[in-house]
Structure 1
Amino acid sequence: MSEHLKLYGYWRSSAAYRVRIALNLKGLHYEQVPVHLIRDGGEQHAPDYASTHPQKLVPVLQHGERKVRQSLAIMEYLEELWPDPPLLPLAARDRARIRALALLIACDIHPLNNLRVLQYLEREWNAPQPERDEWVRHWIAEGFRAFEAMLVEDLSRGAFCEGDSPGIADCCLVPQVYNARRFGVDLEPFPTIRRIEAECLALPAFDAARPERQPDAPG
């Protein structure tokens, strides 16, 4: 359990951002290994990185000799090995709800506006920057409408997505709101999302995970 933790990521990757938050919430020390997703065509495409992640994506958590891939799988792995403080509620129905919120972001919103999709739209379809940006705004807003509604309908919502302690859904939400702001999404229709984001960013674990605070961030 005490083996060295190493996180392969990129300062602006929202998937890596999620894992940084989870590691910080667990109070775990980890070494960051930057993988620049843009420089020289993307360091994730280098042949030696394929052995680290065959999909050529970040993040990857290396724990001793074991490599764990996919941000949600990494967070569940951390939860099982280091259960305190918990990132998931106790009741099965509450766990299902929180996993649904996390999956809404990780599987429905994020894949449509990540770097490789935007690069494909530019490379294969010659989509100009304004159209690519509008694509991103559309899918984030579409997902946030559902996320906001799911938050509002649930009585177990507290200061955070579930009760008064941050968990996996909050780890996913904050990086996606960061992306939304970056692309100019109008967040006015999502007051619950904005409130929870503010609660999260007031905590040291979230604050330390901000993209601009990472060692590979520009400047």
Structure 2
Amino acid sequence: MASGTGEVSKKLKLYSNWRSSCSCRVRIALKLKGLDYEYIAINLLKGDQKSPEFLKLNPLGYVPVLVDGDFVVADSFAILLYLEEKYPQHPLLPKDLQKRALNYQAANLVSANIQPLQNLSVLGYIHEKLGPDEEIPLAQTHIRKGFAALEKLLENYAGKYATGNEVFLADLFLAPQIDGAVRRFNVDMSEYPILSRINEAYKELPAFQDAMPGKQPDTPPEARA
């Protein structure tokens, strides 16, 4: 459970999975904003996401799902924007319009062009149709393509973090994506100096590290950091 107190924040429930990078983005945001929440683990390998109870929350059957009182919102991008508007502490978006657009672009590059091609359902389909030996190469191909694009996108803007010297929305998408690329898919990060540098900076931030896959309540013992 994240740190923080308050009658309003106690209403928050996060349906999450330890290895889900989409869930990790939201966990980082909740920690940055100091919001207390109840962690509800969804075991994707056992099919918890297909249960009637979960499908009432998100008919698509994906994590994360955030419950705030009687309001339910699914999809990490939507959840993050909801949290940003309702809980303005530690803003996730810069005031500068162009820098804000850059954050949207980097975040969307991860969420729409990299992550979907490495998720469990896609890899399972590849496993079934093409064989298990094709899963990792497919994920690596799309991760490398996306990372190359991010290097070009951020080369004139990156500071200590993705879009300068403050943590913003893009960082919440990049941190779990880079972590997964290295730990799950054995991507060589030496080709991506900007991403490698900012990833080292993320390792200094408790809100990021506490949200990583290796430190969640449902993390298997063998995967704990």
Q: TM-score, normalised by structure 1?
A: 0.94
* Rounded Cα–Cα distance in structure 1 between residues aligned with 2:50 and 2:93: 34
* Rounded Cα–Cα distance in structure 2 between residues aligned with 1:76 and 1:202: 25
- Structure 1: gaps of 5 or more residues: none
SS, match of residue 68 in structure 1: strand
Is 1:20 aligned to 2:23, yes or no? no
Which of 126, 149, 153 is matched with 1:150 structurally?
153
Equivalent in the alignment of 1:114: 119
Is 1:2 aligned to 2:8, yes or no? yes
C-alpha RMSD of matched pairs (Å):
1.1
Is 1:134 aligned to 2:137, yes or no? yes
Q: How many residues align?
A: 213
Is 1:90 aligned to 2:92, yes or no? no
Percent same amino acid at aligned positions?
A: 41
* Rounded Cα–Cα distance in structure 1 between residues aligned with 2:206 and 2:127: 38
Kindly provide the CA deviation profile for residues 116-162 of structure 1, in whole angstroms up to 9, marking residues without a partner as x. 11111223x1x2222111000000000000001111033xx321112
Q: Which has the higher contact order (CA 8 A, sep 6+)?
A: 1
SS, match of residue 197 in structure 1: helix
Amino acid at match of 2:155: V
* Rounded Cα–Cα distance in structure 2 between residues aligned with 1:128 and 1:173: 29
Report if aligned partners of 1:102, 1:168 keep a CA contact under 8 Å in 2: yes
Report if aligned partners of 2:42, 2:49 keep a CA contact under 8 Å in 1: yes
SS, match of residue 57 in structure 2: coil
Is 1:76 aligned to 2:81, yes or no? yes
Spell out the pairing of 1:1-219 with structure 2 (5 A cutoff): 2=8, 4-39=11-46, 42-123=47-128, 125=129, 127-154=130-157, 157-181=158-182, 182-219=184-221
Q: TM-score, normalised by structure 2?
A: 0.92
Report if aligned partners of 1:137, 1:183 keep a CA contact under 8 Å in 2: yes
Amino acid at match of 2:25: R
Report if aligned partners of 1:161, 1:169 keep a CA contact under 8 Å in 2: yes
SS, match of residue 89 in structure 1: coil
